[in-house]
């Protein structure tokens, strides 16, 4: 076993025990990890030279009662101060590092640098989730990646890298498939390689489920692991019906790693407190109580290469009560992923909340839809379907959208082979494309 695998195994064994730690023990563990991170950031990261002064007393001790005085980092600051946020040196044993780029649902690109220890910890936390949900480890596992991320033994479709695999302990395959292949080709690889568990974004899952239904449901899965976006009940139902799969969600991001995982006994989430300090804050930046919804602010405990101390994740979450499953980890009752854009009209703002998404999809008989605001009073409705929208369908949708958004809207309909992807490879339902 190599050193990284051994480290991952040690962390995994700790995680299987630490979920039972009482709150006081977990807080002591977090404070110990945070103290190291704060001192490291203050001494080696230019961005934090004075930013953390509020929590250090004159003796250099940390006053945890003043934690909320540390300014919150925005996504814009992460992008604009990337170089200043990098540590000049790492703690012993924390290297090497790797850069990850993401645009998130907001489409604003950022780059994050993570250490090997952070990657091992995230892998161990994901393994804990699979273990607790009894995901069959004897079956092959797959996900979709960008072409340059294919590694191990790579198989090509002509000149196009199509998929690759790496053998895991026990002889199972960890399969990675080119995200830009057609859905039919993805399904063909998944079926031929006898994949039991698949992991990717909810939108990707929904589109793949549609294609699977069209082809007579050739792919059957034991489980589908969602990440990266909020998963709707409708998407869960579609994936379960198409693939026969159990649906499992994790809450993660490139910036903060794995932050929470779905409880094995319920649909809510348990915060991965060993990985991250996750705060849910109200409009006054004070901690929310159970049942209250607020914005998510995180401090990844292993982020020594590029410390993110109180980073605004861009999501909303609702705190929950203690769980009866046996785990002592805190509960998030609900997570609302990064918000879709606010539509801006000459005399008002509009939100997608009032749009009947199911009606749009059923009326267009579409596998996927994207509404793009291209001008102040114009939308382009892009859809993936077997046939063009009828005049009657367009009239029904136009009437609904004028009622819930703005009475003077005009529309253009475009039937596409697939919904355009943003810089992060995600297919968004709602986008704003004018300044």
- Indicate the range of 74-83, 101-110, 220-229, 282-291 predicted with least confidence: 101-110
Compute the average pLDDT of residues 19-30.
97
Give me the pLDDT at residue 104, please.
Answer: 39
Query: Do residues 330 and 262 share a domain?
Result: yes
Domains in the chain, number: 2
- 243-298 pLDDT tens trace: 999 999 999 988 898 999 999 999 899 999 999 999 999 988 999 999 999 999 99
**Of 336, 357, 383, which one is at a domain's C-terminal end?**
336
Decide if 214 is inside a domain. no
Query: Do residues 285 and 350 share a domain?
Result: no
**Of 285, 315, 336, which one is at a domain's C-terminal end?**
336
Secondary structure element (H or E) that encloses residue 161, with its range: strand 160-167
Query: Do residues 331 and 355 share a domain?
Result: no
Query: Do residues 291 and 376 share a domain?
Result: no
Query: Do residues 360 and 255 share a domain?
Result: no
Decide if 238 is inside a domain. no
Q: Is the bond into 227 cis (omega within 30 degrees of 0)?
A: no
| Contact indicator for 342, 400 with CB cutoff of 8 Å | no
Query: Do residues 27 and 83 share a domain?
Result: yes
- 100-151 pLDDT tens trace: 766 434 334 578 888 889 989 999 999 999 999 999 989 999 999 888 889 8
Query: Do residues 301 and 380 share a domain?
Result: no
Compute the average pLDDT of residues 73-80.
86
Share of the chain above pLDDT 90, in %: 63
Compute the average pLDDT of residues 371-398.
96
| Contact indicator for 200, 149 with CB cutoff of 8 Å | no
- Indicate the range of 105-114, 254-263, 335-344, 379-388 predicted with least confidence: 105-114
Give me the pLDDT at residue 109, please.
Answer: 54
**Of 292, 309, 336, which one is at a domain's C-terminal end?**
336
Query: Do residues 317 and 350 share a domain?
Result: no
**Res. 349: pLDDT tops 60:** yes
C-alpha distances in Å from residue 318, one per residue of 165, 254, 292, 333: 38, 21, 5, 5
Decide if 197 is inside a domain. no
Q: How far is Cα 137 from Cα 143, in angstroms, rounded to an integer? A: 15
Give me the pLDDT at residue 351, please.
Answer: 66
Decide if 153 is inside a domain. no
**Res. 424: pLDDT tops 80:** no
Query: Do residues 397 and 425 share a domain?
Result: yes
Give me the pLDDT at residue 414, please.
Answer: 97
- DSSP bridge partners of 252: 258
**Res. 367: pLDDT tops 60:** yes
| Structural domain boundaries enclosing 23 | 3-124+251-336
Decide if 202 is inside a domain. no
> What does the CA dihedral 210, 213, 214, 219 come to, rounded to 10 degrees?
100
Query: Do residues 8 and 120 share a domain?
Result: yes
SS3 content of the chain, % helix, strand, coil (to 5): 30, 30, 40
The CATH number assigned to the domain holding 389 equals: 3.30.300
**Res. 411: pLDDT tops 70:** yes
Give me the pLDDT at residue 149, please.
Answer: 87
Give me the pLDDT at residue 336, please.
Answer: 78
Query: Do residues 302 and 358 share a domain?
Result: no
Half-sphere exposure of 164 (CA within 13 A, CB side): 15
> What does the CA dihedral 383, 389, 391, 394 come to, rounded to 10 degrees?
-30
**Res. 42: pLDDT tops 60:** yes
| Contact indicator for 271, 332 with CB cutoff of 8 Å | yes
- The two structure tokens encoding residue 252: 């993660």
Decide if 299 is inside a domain. yes
Query: Do residues 7 and 119 share a domain?
Result: yes
Compute the average pLDDT of residues 396-400.
96
Give the count of beta carbons closer than 10 Å to the beta carbon of residue 289. Answer: 10
More confident residue, 408 or 109: 408
Q: How would you classify the pairing of strands 140-145 and 195-200?
A: parallel
Decide if 32 is inside a domain. yes
**Res. 3: pLDDT tops 60:** yes
The CATH number assigned to the domain holding 259 equals: 3.40.50.12780
Decide if 175 is inside a domain. no
């Amino acid at each position: 076993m190599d050193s990284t695998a051994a480290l991952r195994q040690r962390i995994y064994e700790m995680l299987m025990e630490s979920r039972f730690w009482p709150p006081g023990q977990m807080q002591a563990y977090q404070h110990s990890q945070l103290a190291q991170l704060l001192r490291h950031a203050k001494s080696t990261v230019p961005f934090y030279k004075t930013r953390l002064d509020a929590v250090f007393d004159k003796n250099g001790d940390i006053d945890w009662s003043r934690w909320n005085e540390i300014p919150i980092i925005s996504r814009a600051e992460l992008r604009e101060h990337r170089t200043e946020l990098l540590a000049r040196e790492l703690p012993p044993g924390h290297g090497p590092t790797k850069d990850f780029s993401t645009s998130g649902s907001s489409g604003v690109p950022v780059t994050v640098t993570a250490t090997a220890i952070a990657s091992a910890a995230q892998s161990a936390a994901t393994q804990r989730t699979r273990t607790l949900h009894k995901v069959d480890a004897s079956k092959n596992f797959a996900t979709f990646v960008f072409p340059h991320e294919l590694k191990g033994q790579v198989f090509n479709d002509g000149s196009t890298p199509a998929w690759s695999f790496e053998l895991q302990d026990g002889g199972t395959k960890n399969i990675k498939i080119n995200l830009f292949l057609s859905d039919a080709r993805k399904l063909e690889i998944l079926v031929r390689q006898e994949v039991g568990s698949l992991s990717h974004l909810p939108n990707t899952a929904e589109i793949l489920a549609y294609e699977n239904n069209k082809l007579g449901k050739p792919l059957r899965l034991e489980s589908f692991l969602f990440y990266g976006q909020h998963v709707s009940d409708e998407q869960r139902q579609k994936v379960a019906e198409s693939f026969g799969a159990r649906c499992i969600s994790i809450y993660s991001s490139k910036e903060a790693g794995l932050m929470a995982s779905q409880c094995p006994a319920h649909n809510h989430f348990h915060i991965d407190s060993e990985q991250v300090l996750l705060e849910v804050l109200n409009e006054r930046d004070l901690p929310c109580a159970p049942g209250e919804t607020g914005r998510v602010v995180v401090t990844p405990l292993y982020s020594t290469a590029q410390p993110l101390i109180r980073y605004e994740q861009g999501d909303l979450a609702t705190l929950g009560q203690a769980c009866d499953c046996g785990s002592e980890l805190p509960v998030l009752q609900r997570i609302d992923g990064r918000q879709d854009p606010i539509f801006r009209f000459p005399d008002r703002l509009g939100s997608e909340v009032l749009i009947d998404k199911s009606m749009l999809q059923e009326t267009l008989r579409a596998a996927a839809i994207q509404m793009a605001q291209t001008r102040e009073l114009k939308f382009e409705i892009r859809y993936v379907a077997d046939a063009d929208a009828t005049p009657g369908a367009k009239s029904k949708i136009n009437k609904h959208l004028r009622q819930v958004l703005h009475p003077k809207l005009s529309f253009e309909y475009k039937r596409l082979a697939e919904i355009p992807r943003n810089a992060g490879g995600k297919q968004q339902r709602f986008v704003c494309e004018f300044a």
